Structure formats: structure tokens, C-alpha cells
Homo-oligomer: A and B are copies of this chain.
Amino acid sequence: MTQINHNYTELQGSYLFAEIAKRRTKFIQDNPDAQIISLGIGDVTRGLPDAITKAMHAAVDELAEASSFRGYGPEQGYDFLINAIIENDYKARGIDIAANEVFVSDGSKCDVGNIQEIFSQDSVVAVQDPVYPVYVDTNVMAGRSGKFNKEKGQYENIVYLPTSAENDFTPSLPDRKVDLIYLCYPNNPTGMTLSKEQLKVWVDYAKANDCIILYDSAYEAFIQEEGVPRSIYEIEGAKEVAIEFRSFSKTAGFTGVRCAYTVVPRELKGKDENGNIVLINDMWNRRHTTKFNGVSYVTQRGAAAIYSEEGKEQIKSLIDYYMTNASIIREGLASIGLEVFGGVNAPYIWLKTPNGLDSWAFFDKLLSEAHIVGTPGVGFGQSGQGYFRLTAFGSRENTEKAVERIKKLSL
């Protein structure tokens, strides 16, 4: 019988959101009349802005005619989208990014999951704790995690950088040599951010210690406060040490449309086993063109419309809508004495569970007593134990209803 990739046997249980879906489905089966409100998985709910649907309709019409048909596009994405990204997300903020540094993809989950593949098998990986589970899981699959230590609830070879209320959600620098550092800001799940000065510490550390930062900035569009960096490349020297991941999923309601991009600067270098210098950009380009065939043309046209004047306005009002939800949740929960974090520069509210309940116990309580689905903090890492994530992506009505229900709970 064919041998499998034995690293998969080190994966722990099922993927977080699959477990949530399972418990939710069971609850609905047992309580068919319950009006469930989901503030769990970070999925958007509003319709696509008009500027985007217009562009998608036009693209479908183009594909209908042989004269304007487009088949395979460049695997890295069409120029019309790459140029719009560079112009608006970088040049407008004084950051110089070249067209061959941008790789359009069908989602940041894919990119942050696949990026590890171009690095050595022996790379030591550091992750924030709690954090989006894909970073760890994909390194487990690749064999970089070592064994899972059941007592600790952590992998032996992964370097965890704990954040919690105790350290104001600011991770300490690694206490041993690492090669790859996953940073996620605005953070999923905590909704917290770093200041420019705080982020500079990481860039400087990476430069001094020869490591690469994998900077997941999927929630950049939700930053409201001045002084919070929107790109790691706002920090001097970051192009020599960082890859940046951005997504249209939450920015523009693209969770079901699928588009994201990754910036791999030409300044970013690695070395092969003979000590030769290799451009990480060349590595990713090779990976991307060999295992991926580009994003749907219709989707790319929709994504480019985000950057039109009309699109920008509509996106802004979409984000305002969700961020108003965020403050409704934040303030509602705070008003009954719950300790809340995030929700200011991110669509996630991270709350300390009351009375020392563990995260899954709070999940079950919220589901059974308030019919609300949220996400247990511990699902994002051991330091998330005793925390819980709510998202601002519901409708206004559901968000308000959910907050009212939570206020009525006996906590």
C-alpha cells in the first residue's frame, strides 16, 4: 500500500471551523426552532458593491464573444489589476513596489498556506499565539512542527509568541533562532494592531537575525486609526525581510469571489544549500507559475473595480458598516463588564470569557443560551484559552440582536 505523507498524522483534530460547524449543526438538529446568529467564522454578509458587480457583468460579456474572449491570463495576474494595486495600496502611501513583485491569487489562505514550501525543510517557524491556524497546520503538513506535545497543546519545534491581555497583545521577540516569523496585523483573532515603532522592532530583528517575516495583512482595510501601519513596507528596510499578504475577501466582500495578492520584494534574498544567493521573488514566481493558473478573469475585473472612484466610496461605506457593528459589539459587551479587545482597527472583537470559563465552554454556553455562534479563542492557540472571538461581519440587525441576547445572559 502506498505510503502517505506521515506528517499529516501529526495534525491535531479537525480544522477549527469544521468543529464549530459540527457543534452548530448538532445544536440546530436538536433545536430546530432556534434563531441562530453567527458571529463566528469571519465571513462577510453584505452584497457586493455595485461598482464591482458592474465590472463582473462586463467581464462575463467580454468572455461571451470570441473577439473579446480571454483564456489563460498571466499566472501572476493581469496588469490592469496589478497596476491598480501598486498605485493605490502602495504608491499612494509612498511605497515603491514593482509589477513583478505582486502576485495575484485566489485567496490569502492559499498563499499563506503555500509560502512555506519555498523555504528549507529545516526552517524554524515562529507564530503568534493565538493566531490564524493555517500557519501552523501547513507547517505541520510540511514536517517542520515536530511532535505535538499534548500536555502543552503545542508542537515541539514551533516557536510560539504568546499574546494576551498580560502583555497588551504585543508578542516578545523569539527566545531562540528562527527562520520564518508569521505576523498577522491587524491580528486575527485578537483584532489588535502594532504601532509603527512596534513593527519596526520586528523588521530590525529580522534584519539582524537573518529571518523572513511573513506579514499577513488581510484586514488592512479596517484600520481606522492614524499611526497604525497599513503595510509592513512603511517600515524602512522591510523590503529586505518581509513578504506581505493582502486579501480582497473582507475588504470588498470577496469571500465567495476569491481574490487576494502577495507582495514578494526583489530585495528579499535567501540562500541555497551551497550558499548561493537566491531571490525569494524568483522562487515564489516559479512555484506560482508551476502550481497555479491565475485567477478568474471575471474576478480580477471585479477586484480592479475596487480601486475606481466609485468602488472606493462603496468599499468605504461597506467597511464603515462593519466597523459600526464592531463598536456596537465592543460597547455592548463592555457595558455589562466584559473585558473586550480589538474591534477598533479590525472587524474582530476579542473578549475575555467571564468567570474563568474556558473557550469551548463559553462557546457552548453562548450557543445554547443565546443561540449565538462565535469562535473559541483556544482554537487559535493555547494563549487564546479563556478568550473568545466575535466578528463584526453580521447584519446590523443580527449584531444588535446578538448584543441584546448576550446582555441578558447570566454571566
Contact = CB atoms under 8 A, between A and B. Distances in A.
Contacts of A257: 63, 296-298
A119 interface: yes
A117 B141 CA distance: 9
Nearest to A69: B47
Contacts of A92: none
A89 interface: no
A45 B57 contact: no
A291 B47 CA distance: 26
A41 interface: yes
Contacts of A118: 4-5, 8
Contact of A212 (B2, B69, B106): B2
Interface stretch (A229-237, A267-275, A376-384): A267-275
A15 B75 CA distance: 12
Contacts of A121: 5, 143
Given A48-B64, A61-B53, A4 B119 contact: yes
Interface string A79-121: 0000000000000000000000000001101100110011111
Given A53-B60, A134-B291, A283 B4 contact: yes
Contact of A4 (B258, B272, B292): B272
Contacts of A68: 47
A396 B70 CA distance: 17
A2, A50, A73, A179 interface centre (most CB from chain B within 10 Å): A2
A46 interface: yes
A255 interface: yes
Contacts of A107: 292-293
A121 to B, nearest CB: 7
A255 to B, nearest CB: 4
A120 B3 contact: yes
Q: How large is the interface on A (under 10, 10 to 19, 20 to 34, 35 or more residues)?
A: 35 or more
Given A3-B271, A179-B2, A64 B71 contact: no
A264 B197 CA distance: 50
A256 B180 contact: no
Given A114-B291, A296-B299, A272 B3 contact: yes
A106 B106 contact: yes
A271, A280, A298 interface centre (most CB from chain B within 10 Å): A298
A213 to B, nearest CB: 10
21 contacts: A2-B270, A3-B123, A4-B272, A4-B280, A45-B71, A46-B66, A47-B64, A47-B65, A47-B68, A48-B69, A53-B61, A53-B63, A56-B60, A60-B298, A70-B256, A106-B106, A134-B291, A255-B293, A256-B296, A296-B296, A298-B299
Closest 3 interchain pairs by CB? A3-B120, A113-B291, A71-B255
Given A2-B180, A57-B57, 14 more contacts: A1-B270, A1-B271, A4-B118, A4-B272, A8-B272, A47-B68, A53-B63, A63-B253, A70-B256, A71-B255, A73-B256, A141-B290, A255-B293, A299-B299
